[in-house]
Amino acid sequence: MTSTLEREDDVAAAGPAPLRLGTLTVDPAVVLAPMAGITNPAFRTLCREFGAGLYVCEMITTRALVERNEKTLQMVRATTDEADAFSVQLYGVDPVTVGRAVEMLVDERVAGTRPAHIDLNFGCPVPKVTRKGGGAALPWRRRLFEGIVRAAVRAAGDVPVTVKTRVGIDAGHVTYLDAGRIAEGEGAAAITLHGRTADQLYSGTADWSHIARLVDEVGIPVLGNGDIWEADDALAMVAATGCAGVVVGRGCLGRPWLFADLAAAFAGSGRRALPTLREVAAIMHRHAALLSADQGERHGCTDFRKHVAWYLKGFSVGSDARRALAMVSSLDELAALLDRIPDQPYPTEVLGGPRGRTSSPRPVALPEGWLADRDDPRPPVGAELLVSGG
* pLDDT tens for each residue of the chain, 390 residues long: 434 445 455 444 678 999 999 989 999 999 999 999 999 999 999 999 999 899 999 999 999 999 999 999 999 988 888 877 889 999 999 999 999 999 999 998 888 889 999 999 999 999 999 999 999 999 999 999 999 999 999 999 999 999 999 999 999 999 999 999 999 999 999 999 999 999 999 999 999 999 999 999 999 999 999 999 999 999 999 999 999 999 999 999 999 999 999 999 999 999 999 999 999 999 999 999 999 999 999 999 999 999 999 999 999 999 999 999 999 999 999 999 999 999 999 999 999 999 887 789 999 999 999 999 999 999 987 665 434 333
Model pLDDT, residue 11: 42
Q: What is the pLDDT of residue 6?
A: 53
pLDDT at position 358 is 79
Task: Give the residue numbers marked as catalytic.
Answer: 124
Domains in the chain: ranges and CATH = 13-271+361-387 (3.20.20.70), 277-345 (1.10.1200)
**What is d(CA 50, CA 241) in angstroms, rounded to the nearest whole number?**
26
pLDDT of residue 2: 39
CA distance 27 to 382: 41
pLDDT at 109: 85
Question: Can you say whether the dihedral through the CA atoms of 160, 38, 293, 281 is positive or negative?
Answer: negative
pTM for the model: 0.93
Cα separation, 308 vs 367, in Å, equals 37
Determine the pLDDT at residue 385: 46
Asked whether the CA dihedral 202, 322, 351, 163 is positive or negative, the reply is positive
Strands 54-55 and 245-248: unpaired
In this predicted structure, what is the pLDDT of residue 85?
A: 84
- CA atoms within 13 A of residue 139's CA, in its CB half-sphere: 31
What's the confidence (pLDDT) of residue 4?
41
DSSP bridge partners of 168: 174
Give the pLDDT score at 343. 97
Give the pLDDT confidence score for residue 384 in this predicted structure.
Answer: 52
